[in-house]
Structure 1
Amino acid sequence: MAAPTLVLLHGVGLDHTVWEPVAGLLRADFRIVAPDLPGHGTRPPALAGTTLAGLADGVAEEIPPGSHLVGFSLGALVAQHLAVHRPELVATLTSVSSVCQRTEAERAAVLRRLDSATQDLAASTEASLHRWYDGTDVSQEWVHATEAILLANDPDSFVHCYRVFATGDAEIAAHLPEIRVPSLAVTGELDPGSTPEMTHRLVRAIPDCTAEVIPGARHMLPIQKPRELVTSVSDFLRRYAHV
């Protein structure tokens, strides 16, 4: 019997390499597909007017029907869009560190970060690294690697994709009740952006969704807590998808 396919979708400004710690723990049991989103990694820069639908369409052809989707941050919004609009591709949905139905205050905060990225990518990168990694035990090697990935972005392309991240939760919100596959929402206890409250909003919005909050974790779960994240995903797939 062929191994089930697990599709890993990364966050804004990052690339598929952020999944390496997770993929290394799962390759024995799954066929891993980790495409770069449009405008990221080796993909051509994203153009002005890039949309959540455009990002989803950009990876859909790489996803076999009946895959188990695990989306992180922006990748979670993309995965949710696919679960709504391309349901034949999605057997289960896992949203990692996902925003959901931001409040006015939360929207204002992310729009300030978008403005900072528009003005100065280097300063925005430094602020992100502090927000994601301060107070964690993540190695400096990973911190420097994340910095290099972020700074390698085309500045305009990064802003176009960040704008999707800043607004995409409002776009997908009304459609979340249409998701009909078993779903998991997982975030870090100390995530300042994709908060535990947002994870519980996903549970209330998606009909068959469970929540998990990983103690002591911040935003970058695939790097900070890969084993804990793998345990969450594996337990979920065993319980709800018989994988």
Structure 2
Amino acid sequence: MSATPPEATHEVQFVTLHGHRRAYVKVGQGPALLLLHGLACDHTTWEPVIDALAQRFTVIAPDLLGHGQSAKPRADYTLGGYANGMRDLLTVLGIDKVTVVGHSFGGGVAMQFAYQFPERTERMVLVASGGLGPEVTPAIRAIASPGFHQAMGLATLPGVRQVNTGALRALSHLPSKYTHDLDEVADIVDSFADPAARAAIRHVVRAVVDWRGQIVTMADRAYLTEAMPMCVIWGRDDQVLPVRHADTAARIAPKARVEVIADAGHFPHKDHPQRFVTLLTDFVQSTQPAVYSRARWRALLRNGASAPIPQVAREVSERHGGRSLTIA
């Protein structure tokens, strides 16, 4: 079964897993990239880069459960549940191994996927990812608060929603880093007109955020990236998850490649799609895919993170209009 909404560029296909409909886009040929979108978004967040990536890769861009055109049941919205869902989707599609690319909340899912299924993960790419520090915009913390569902129901009533989203899109054109991503926020507000979508997103947020910020962190398991190539990409003007979390990634995963893009907010793949494609393509082509070894994984788990983290060596250069930190 497949359908293509008028505004979509790529054909959306559907598969039913565990009784729930999952939507996804699959295009291109070559090594597989699994693109995981962020909270309250869907696969269309990757539209600016899908075609360019599909020239070299098989691109799979799903709508996570509770998002987009996928089902929005009362279900397991934990990171582990999402990782299991991605494993099952890839299995149905006949894809054994992927480079997993996660944006924002999708970065948390990418980390969990790589942790649960290292034998199926060749590389990990985190884009303005959650799980690298407690700080998060108050707007996301508010989603988990009492009364959010009702308040957003009022804010998305016909007429009211158009005024709110129109104002957000107008403000997004102002030359300020604080309004950089408001057009994306407007799309999210539009999606909240669906009560099922609001309920699903509230469940997602409550699994990873409380009143103090992000609950989930990769810091305690970062040493496992020793066995897997990792790249982190961030927008310097990110107002959702602070860019200093990219420095955290460099500290806890010293072998990671870290790229900070100037004049980009929380969606660097949309702000600078050509640069994003160049960075991602170069990372994949210049690294060998991880090869899962149970013995090595066992040794890493036994040794844990007890050894001191080595000093991070950085080579900083200005290229493509942004700051590039190549982690030695």
Asked if 1:6 is matched to 2:36, the reply is no
In structure 2, the CA distance between the partners of 1:29 and 1:138, relative to structure 1 (3 Å rule), is: farther
Residue 161 to residue 140, structure 1, CA distance change in 2 (3 Å): closer
Distance (Å, rounded) in 2 between the aligned partners of 1:21 and 1:108: 25
Which of residues 173, 176, 181 is equivalent to 2:222? 176
TM-score, normalization: structure 1?
0.82
Residue 222 of structure 1 deviates from its aligned partner by 2.7
Rounded to whole Å, the distance in 1 between the matches of 2:137 and 2:261 is 26
> What code does the residue aligned with 2:206 have?
R
Moved more, 196-205 or 42-51: 42-51
Structure 2 residue 111 is the aligned partner of structure 1 residue 80: yes
Q: Which amino acid aligns with 2:268?
A: L
Would the aligned equivalents of 1:76 and 1:96 in 2 still touch at CA under 8 Å?
yes
Q: Does 1:54 align with 2:96?
A: no
Matched residue of 1:32: which SS? Answer: strand
Question: Could you say which residue in structure 2 is the equivalent of 1:155?
Answer: 198
Distance, in Å, in 1 between the alignment partners of 2:220 and 2:84 is 20
**CA shift digits 1:51-101 (9 cap, x unpaired):** 110111111122333211111111110001111110011101100011334
Q: Counterpart of 2:44? A: 17
* Cα distance change of structure 1 residues 19 and 202 upon mapping to structure 2, 3 Å threshold: same
Q: Following TM superposition, by how much is the alpha carbon of 1:33 offset from its aligned partner in structure 2, in angstroms?
A: 0.6
Partners of 2:49 and 2:41 in 1: CA distance: 15
What's the CA shift for 1:166? 2.5
Cα 1:108/1:16, change in 2 over 3 Å: closer
Specify every segment of 5 or more residues in structure 1 that has no aligned partner in the other structure, as ranges.
none
Contact kept, 8 Å, 1:188 with 1:218, in 2: the verdict is: yes
Higher helix share: 1
Q: Aligned partners of 2:257 and 2:44: how far apart in 1?
A: 27
Separation (CA, whole Å) in 2 of partners of 1:169 and 1:213: 24
Instruction: Give the unaligned 5+ runs of structure 2.
Output: 1-28, 290-328
Q: Is the 8 A contact 2:35 2:102 kept in 1?
A: yes
Distance 1:199 1:151, change over 3 A: farther
Which amino acid in structure 1 is aligned with residue 251 of structure 2? R
Structure 1 229/13 Cα, relative in aligned 2: closer, same or farther at 3 Å? Answer: same
Secondary structure, in 3 states, of the residue corresponding to 1:175? Answer: helix
Highest relative contact order (Cα 8 Å, sep 6+), 1 or 2?
1
CA 1:48–1:61 in 2, change beyond 3 Å: closer, same or farther?
A: closer
Which structure has the highest strand share of the two?
2
- Measured against aligned partners, the alpha-carbon deviations of 1:135-178 in whole angstroms (never above 9, x if no partner) come to 47989997765553454462111111122342666254312221
Q: Normalising by structure 2, what TM-score?
A: 0.62
Percentage of identical aligned residues: 26
1:191 CA displacement = 0.2
Cα pair 2:181 2:265 within 8 Å, conserved: no
Please state if 1:36 is matched with 2:78.
no
Instruction: For 1:133 and 1:205, locate their aligned partners in 2 and report how far apart those are by CA, in whole Å.
Output: 34
Contact kept in structure 2, 1:181 and 1:208, CA below 8 Å: no
Kindly provide the CA deviation profile for residues 169-202 of structure 1, in whole angstroms up to 9, marking residues without a partner as x: 6254312221321000111000022222101212
Give the distance between the partners of 1:210 and 1:147, measured in 2 at CA: 34
AA partner of residue 127 (structure 2) = V
Residue equivalent to 1:98: 129
Give the Å deviation of 1:217: 0.3
Instruction: Give the letter for the 2:84 counterpart.
Output: D
Rg larger in structure: 2
Residue in 1 that maps onto 2:141:
111
- Which segment is superposed worse, 93-102 or 78-87? 93-102
Q: Which residue of 1 aligns with 2:270?
A: 223
**Inter-partner Cα distance in structure 2 for 1:145 and 1:101:** 25
Q: In 1, are the aligned partners of 2:41 and 2:188 still within 8 Å (CA)?
A: yes
Over 3 Å counting, the alpha-carbon distance change for 1:66 and 1:48 in structure 2 is closer
